[in-house]
Structure 1
């Protein structure tokens, strides 16, 4: 027997197990889904049902008018084109990958999950109780989760599921940035509060994680990892950059909310709450993207080199 016949590379090539069948993979995907659902419930409870949460959320929305102008006009145009842009990007990529790479099952799962995430958002808008009065002047109408953000994030997630592991870090970075920009734009235009956007991210994650697990199971011939340096689109740079954004966003949010955190006298005349809300959106969106890239890469690297 030659070295090539018995070496590690041959062992990898003979490994025909699906990346989603391992007990560790099932446990991680299940745990991540449960955590998203718990985080969604906590987001609703804190920002909708408590005085402090309502104050932070509403203050961020009200103070958004302090930075309007060119940013407001640009974000309005972006939001006007968002539904069409999201659908076109997702449709082009999904159709291309489906036809060229023949990933029919994965395409069906990704599209179905995208539709389910948007349906879940609309149902939650109708089913969740309106905002109770907690001493904060706010509209009682429930606006959580954000429909525009759900559309952008779910379209980006569908693309993420369809591409092979070597492309997922880049797809995650671009899609996550697109979703974050959508969420921040809704805040700038005072369409949605920060919690509405954060809830949209969590809804999409809770739906797309089980869908991603199914894609891993059904796409065992191409869902394999060839290393961080195996392709330029899988460079650590695409994870490092949003990782830095998460850390910076957490610092900005903590500084902007320092009065509440330290129990100081609250100054309601500054724009700090807008920046806190924007930072929470940026941090949550990019954290979700980094976590997704890591989770899917971890599941895929358990097998040999991937097909394109």
Structure 2
């Protein structure tokens, strides 16, 4: 089981490096990323106020949700070590994002008109995703499928909102998801090691929060986003050399949604596999 956590962590780190290199260091990547950001201006008219308010409240909402759930579980279930690990990992993920943003050099000029200051990874997305991940780690196995779907949806909504408001490019959001994964996966392994007694299926039948419907919804969202990505790419190819449309924007949204829900499905499956193994004789 530990091997799967190591492999998943390394995959997040490798994907982060690839995301940075392609979308920041190459001309093609910069053009795709910047085009999505520019085209967001045609979308944010009717949605700007709602997404701005959401982003303004996002830090408070993220901290409040995580604090309430973690404190409740800690006090009621006495999972002190697990709560400490989850909170420490949440802080570490946000610190890592800020350090990476400062350490990375400005975006090199590749012939694409863009703001040179580095904005990768997205701090707002990291906060939302890490708070959701902290909740996911401390709840019992029967609640994790529901917590994964709701947390993944919350993180995806935060990431898409930053794009709509033109605060961040799609790659910034994807990089934030990967940072959270690289930090929270080792923390999850520690939670499983320190909470062996409660990190098992209770054997009392399927609970509504552990229903397969939550994993199915995450998978469905990823499939729909993949279809949208294909449609957008076809539109980009057919409109090549013509006036800009919103195909790059929707392709960027698809990338965010696919990454966010893919992480949700992977984490739910990985932790669920551990719970089932511990239950078996």
Specify the TM-score bucket, using the shorter chain as the normaliser: over 0.9
Residue 158 (structure 1) aligns with: 134
Instruction: Please state whether the residue corresponding to 1:301 is helix, strand or coil.
Output: helix
CA distance in 2, matches of 1:129, 1:96: 42
| Contact 2:58/2:124, CA 8 A, preserved across alignment | yes
CA distance in 2, matches of 1:228, 1:288: 28
1:199-238 superposed matches below 5 A? 199-226=175-202, 230-238=206-214
- TM-score, normalised relative to structure 1: 0.88
CA distance in 2, matches of 1:141, 1:217: 41
CA distance in 1, matches of 2:243, 2:92: 39
**Per-residue CA distance 1:82-118 (angstroms, 9 max, x = gap):** 0000000000000000000000000100000000000
| Contact 2:235/2:247, CA 8 A, preserved across alignment | no
**Per-residue CA distance 1:23-67 (angstroms, 9 max, x = gap):** xx0110000000000000000001001111111100000000111
**Quick check: 1:137 aligned with 2:127?**
no
| Contact 1:229/1:235, CA 8 A, preserved across alignment | no
Instruction: Please state whether the residue corresponding to 2:99 is helix, strand or coil.
Output: helix
1:248-259 superposed matches below 5 A? 248-258=224-234
CA distance in 1, matches of 2:179, 2:257: 16
Deviation at 1:257, TM superposition (A): 2.0
Alpha carbons of structure 1 residues 254 and 74: separation in structure 2 relative to 1, 3 Å: same
Work out which of the residue numbers 253, 259, 277 in structure 2 matches 1:278: 253
Deviation at 1:70, TM superposition (A): 2.9
CA distance in 1, matches of 2:32, 2:17: 17
1:86-97 superposed matches below 5 A? 86-97=62-73
Q: Across the two proteins, how many residue pairs are aligned to each other?
A: 280
CA distance in 1, matches of 2:125, 2:232: 24
CA distance in 2, matches of 1:138, 1:268: 19
Q: CA RMSD in A?
A: 1.6
CA distance in 2, matches of 1:236, 1:266: 45
> Rg: which structure is higher?
1
CA distance in 2, matches of 1:118, 1:266: 40
Residue 36 (structure 2) aligns with: 60
| Contact 1:83/1:148, CA 8 A, preserved across alignment | yes
**Quick check: 1:85 aligned with 2:61?**
yes
Residue 98 (structure 1) aligns with: 74
CA distance in 1, matches of 2:238, 2:28: 12
Deviation at 1:252, TM superposition (A): 1.0
- TM-score, normalised relative to structure 2: 0.96
**Quick check: 1:241 aligned with 2:247?**
no
- Name the one with the larger helix percent: 2
Residue 10 (structure 1) aligns with: none
